[in-house]
């Protein structure tokens, strides 16, 4: 009895409502979480792109088309893999966004927009990708309000309480479950921090952030899928997202090997500022190289004003 009391007291309660009521207006928390996550991803991307000498407006332009494409792709992936009836296809406020589909569509459209704006594609990928797992983590918080994306029964102190109407039939007598949405959200935040850290260490080649993200997310999603109890389409008795995650991991490893041999050094590996501030957008950070061209007698040895090492100049937005 005491153990059960501790488990209930220590569990995470579910919200009493999935909607925020402000006067006559009603907002779905799930949609709000997605919107906040997208906004954070854009802000992170703008700061990282500006640190490379780029124009933050480029990121806003990419997001304007990539975000809607990602939402459409995510919804299509969900309704196709979960065999949703046509009348439910547009009910995104009830949950049901397949992240793999959103990534394929969103990143694909984002690449096209970045190319058209003349952005350096490899550097743009490195700058923008770390914001995506942050957006996913905030979006997963929305699943808490909908009381979805949870695992099997659990009496751990961080287990989440699920109301009877949201419980699987086979666990109708269980009150607390593994918060799978929380596990995935925390994994995504850790992944985002890792991507930023390894990027600044200068250990990567240009564009490697994307397959590293896919690799990390694929591993995390595969693990989370093992504890989820919600219905899912099965292929040979295995959840479809297990297959997708495993395939993504293999493709990511292949991409990392290819980029390690073919891609140019990344921004920080190529002499970018270690602090990532990027405030010297007028090129003043290259002044050290100019000073080095002046000998002790005050004679400028530079060749017609050309810098001896162009790799230290920030990447611009084309």
Q: What is the pLDDT of residues 48-99, one digit of tens each?
A: 999 999 999 999 999 999 999 998 888 888 777 765 666 565 665 555 677 8
CB 244 within 8 A of CB 100: yes
- Token pair recorded at residue 13: 């309660």
Does 294 have pLDDT greater than 60? no
pLDDT at 150: 93
pLDDT at 24: 80
Name the least confident of 6-20, 100-114, 137-151, 290-304. Answer: 290-304
What string of H, E and C letters represents the secondary structure of 21-76?
A: EECCEEEEHHHHHHHHHHHHHHHHHHHHHHHCCCCHHHHHHHHHHHHHHHHHHHHH
- Collapsed DSSP state (helix, strand, coil) of residue 141: helix
- Among candidate residues 136, 155, 150, the one with its CA nearest the CA of residue 7: 155
Does 134 have pLDDT greater than 90? yes
Q: What is the pLDDT of residues 266-281, one digit of tens each?
A: 889 877 664 444 444 4
Reported as a pLDDT band with limits 50, 70 and 90, residue 312 is very low
Does 292 have pLDDT greater than 90? no
CB 102 within 8 A of CB 74: yes
Q: What is the pLDDT of residues 99-120, one digit of tens each?
A: 888 889 999 999 999 999 999 9
- Residues with Cβ within 8 Å of residue 150, at least 6 apart in sequence: 160, 162, 177, 178, 179, 180, 181, 228, 229, 230
pLDDT at 88: 63
**Per-residue exposure over 156-190, b if at least 16 CB sit within 10 Å of its own CB, e if not:** eeebbebeeeebeeeeeebbbbbbbbbbbbebbbe
**DSSP state string for 6-20:** HHHHHSBPPPS-SEE
Distance in angstroms (rounded) separating the CA atoms of residues 62 and 73: 16
């Amino acid at each position: 009895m005491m153990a059960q009391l501790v488990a209930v007291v220590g569990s995470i309660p579910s919200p009493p409502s999935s909607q925020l009521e402000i006067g006559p207006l009603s907002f779905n928390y799930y949609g709000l979480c997605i919107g906040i996550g997208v906004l954070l991803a854009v802000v992170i991307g703008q700061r990282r792109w500006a640190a490379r000498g780029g124009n933050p407006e480029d990121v806003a332009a990419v997001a304007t088309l990539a975000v809607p494409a990602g939402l459409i792709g995510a919804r299509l992936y969900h309704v196709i893999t979960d065999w949703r009836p046509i009348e439910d296809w547009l009910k995104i406020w009830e949950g049901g966004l397949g992240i793999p589909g959103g990534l394929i569509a969103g990143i694909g459209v984002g690449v096209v927009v970045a190319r058209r704006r003349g952005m350096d594609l490899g550097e743009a990928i490195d700058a923008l990708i770390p914001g995506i797992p942050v957006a996913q983590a905030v979006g997963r918080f929305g699943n808490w309000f909908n009381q979805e994306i949870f695992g099997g029964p659990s009496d751990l102190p961080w287990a989440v309480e699920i109301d009877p109407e949201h419980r699987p039939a086979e666990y109708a007598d269980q009150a607390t479950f593994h918060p799978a949405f929380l596990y995935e959200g925390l994994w995504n935040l850790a992944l985002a921090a890792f991507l930023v850290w390894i990027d600044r260490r200068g250990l990567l080649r240009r564009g490697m952030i994307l397959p590293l993200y896919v690799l990390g997310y694929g591993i995390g999603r595969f693990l989370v899928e093992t504890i989820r109890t919600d219905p899912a389409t099965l292929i040979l008795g295995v959840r479809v997202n297990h297959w997708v995650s495993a395939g993504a991991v293999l493709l990511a490893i292949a991409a990392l090997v290819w980029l390690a041999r073919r891609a140019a050094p990344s921004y920080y590996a190529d002499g970018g500022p270690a602090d990532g501030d990027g405030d010297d957008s007028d090129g003043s950070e290259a002044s050290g190289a100019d000073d080095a061209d002046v000998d002790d007698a005050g004679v400028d040895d530079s060749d017609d004003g050309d810098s001896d090492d162009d790799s230290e100049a920030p990447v611009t937005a084309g």
